[in-house]
Structure formats: C-alpha cells, structure tokens
Amino acid sequence: LLGLFLGLGFLSKASFGLFSISFIIALATTKEGHLTLLNKRSLSSLAIVLLVTLPYDVWAFSHIDIAARSVHKLHLFGQGEIYRVLGKLFVSCIAVLSPFFLVFFLIFGKALSRPKRSSEINPLYFPLLRYFPILLGLLVILVAVFDVTRFKNRWLAPLLVIVPVAAFQYLNTKNVSAQMIRRFTLALGIIAIGILSIMGLRNTICPKFGYFTDLSYPSSAIAQEARHLGYAKGIIIASSHVAAANLLMQFPRSIALHPGLSFVPPEITNYQGQVLLLWNRQHSPELPPYLKNFIEKRLGIKIRKGRIALKNIRYPNTNGRIAKIGLLLFEHHGLGKHNDSTMPLSRPLCPKSN
C-alpha cells in the first residue's frame, strides 16, 4: 500500500518526490532504519512505485522539454530573498496543518502522552520525528542553493499524510475512547465535504466577490466567437497557457500552443489548414510583439489576412469583469508557400470592438 500511495502521489504532484527522498534519508540515518530499508516489504514497495510511475518516467525522459516546462513556476520573488521565502514557506506549512491540529487537539487533547521507545527492534521502524527536520533541511536547500522561491499550499499536501501519523504516536491508547474516534472521523468527513464544496463554489460564487481562478475564464463564449469566424479545427495559438488550454477543451481535435512552450511540435512543420490566434487586448488591439515573434520565428508560420474579431466578453458569474480578447482566423498553406497576403501589424487590427 505504501508503494501504491507514493507512486500515485508522485503522479499527482511532483512534490511527493521530495517527501519520498526525505523518507529514505530518515531511514538511512538510523540503525533500525537500515533493517526497514532492506526489508522485503520495503523493496516490494519500491518496486510498486517504479511500476506505477514507469509509463510517466519513460515519457518524461523522452520529452524532457515538455516535462520540465513548468519549472519556472518555482521562481516568484527573485533570487536572494531567502528570509522572505522561508517565511512564506513557514506560513504555508501552518496554513496546511492548522486545521488538522485544531481538530486533533480539541478531540484527543486529554489522551496525549509522551511516546515510549520500545527496546525491541522493529523491522518496519520509521523515525518520524527525525523525518521532519530532514524535510525542512531539504526545503531550505531548495531555497538557498537552487533559488526555489515559490511554494503553493497544495504542494505541501503530503504533510497531511505524514504529520497525522506522527501526531498519533503521542496518544495514550488507554485514554482514547470510541467516542473520540467517532468525533474525529465525523470531523474528517465534514472537512473533506467542505473542501470539495468550496472547490465547486469557487468557480460560481467566489468570482462575484473578486476571487478568480483559471476555470473562471470565459472559454465557452470565446469558443463560440471562434466558431462564428468559421474555425472548426487546426492550430490554436494563444497569448497565455490558460487561454490555450481552455480553448483546447472546446476544440479537442486541435493543437494548442502558447509562447511559453520550450519546444515546437513536429506536426507544425508540414501543417496546412486553419490557424486561430487569440490574444489579450487589454492594453492594445494589436497582436503583441512577443506572440508575433513566437508565431513567425519559432513556429515558422506567416500571419496572413483573415477574419478578425475584437470582443469584450463577460466573465461568467461575475459582477461585470470583462475579458478583452482579439481573434484572428486565417489559412496556413505550409512552409515555403507564403505570398504577399501576409498581414501588416503596424496598425490596429480592427477599427471597432464589440
């Protein structure tokens, strides 16, 4: 079960890798831990981890550029701001763990006691109390050495698995009643349902109070405008990854690209067909220079005259927030077949917007 948990955890969040490394180091630094590492169950768990993650590992090593393209998300504040980042990390840990500790102490406060160390050697021994300083040390190294400066609360979610196990070591089982167990189970159920409810409501109710997520993006309305222009399938090139991904959901037979990509799909080389451009015209109705460079220099696609739409589209479930977008649909005839119909971009694309 441990191997399955770690394997699925790594597939869901790469941060599980850091927690797993801390797990191994904690075992390797104790005599009892050596027995645990060499235990048949531990080796079986490792084999299960490798088996579960094998398809992703093979794909990742074959597509390094794609697998590593989100590494930039780890840099937020800039290099050198160690104390500020460590403070943010500390606050994130508190934010993740405080609900658990609140419920734990309210229910099991009277049953707490100092754990007794057994003189017998346990082949499944794990030094939980040593694990946390090691994990903290690795996080500090990431900040100080590798300049990782961004930590999101959800990246620390594995703590919600490890910390409760450590906390329950401090319970005197003689003082734990069946009523405490029922209350704790009920509290976990209420919290789980609450989290799922909030995740659903944040895209319907929260935008009315100014809180937006990527799912708040008016992709359906933008897709409808694209259909009005005549777009069916082909290549979608958007100014942001959020816009590209959301439109891909609306046109699943298309290829979605954005300037943040560190690779060029091989399908682009000999592509002929529709190309749909989408950009944010918040500051200017013209196509942004960085998007134009990406299209023409990185992708080798000449921007041609086509059908244009400049629209002000209202975000769903909001009090009037507007997405100002530009759409351009044109036909691409393959590399080396460009003519004088290339579209000039030194003037606004359209004199009006809706």
Residues 333-349 have pLDDT tens digits of: 875 433 333 333 333 33
* Ordered DSSP codes for 147-196: ------GGGGTTHHHHHHHHHHTTB-GGG--HHHHHHHHHHHHHHHHHHH
Residue 240, classified by CB atoms within 10 Å of its CB into exposed (0-12), middle (13-18) or buried (19+), is: middle
What CA–CA distances, in Å, run from 68 to 53, 71, 120, 260, 261?
Answer: 16, 6, 45, 12, 10
* Ordered DSSP codes for 309-329: EEEEEEPTTSSS-EEEEEEEE
Residue 69, classified by CB atoms within 10 Å of its CB into exposed (0-12), middle (13-18) or buried (19+), is: middle
When pLDDT is cut at 50, 70 and 90, the band that residue 66 belongs to is: low
Residues 141-153 have pLDDT tens digits of: 776 666 666 666 6
- Give buried/exposed letters for 77-105 (b at 16+ CB in 10 A, else e): eeeeeeeebbebbeebbeebbeebeebbe
295 torsion bin: left (phi>0), alpha (psi -120 to 50), beta (else): alpha
Q: How many CB atoms lie under 10 A from the CB of residue 73?
A: 11
Cα dihedral across residues 48, 53, 57, 58: positive or negative: positive
- One-letter amino acid for residue 69 of the chain: R
Q: Indicate the length of the chain as a whole number.
A: 354
Residue 16 and residue 201: Cα distance in Å, rounded?
Answer: 28
- Give buried/exposed letters for 164-192 (b at 16+ CB in 10 A, else e): eeebeeebeeeebeeebeeebeebeeeee
Is residue 166 pLDDT above 90, yes or no? no
When pLDDT is cut at 50, 70 and 90, the band that residue 228 belongs to is: very high
- DSSP letter assigned to residue 112: B
51-65, 119-133, 166-180: range with highest mean pLDDT = 166-180
Is residue 69 pLDDT above 60, yes or no? no
pTM given for the model: 0.56
When pLDDT is cut at 50, 70 and 90, the band that residue 354 belongs to is: very low
Residue 272 · residue 311 · CB < 8 Å: no
Residues 111-152 have pLDDT tens digits of: 887 655 554 444 445 666 777 788 878 877 776 666 666 666
Q: How many CB atoms lie under 10 A from the CB of residue 308?
A: 17
Residue 341 · residue 305 · CB < 8 Å: yes
For residue 288 the two structure tokens come to 């942004």
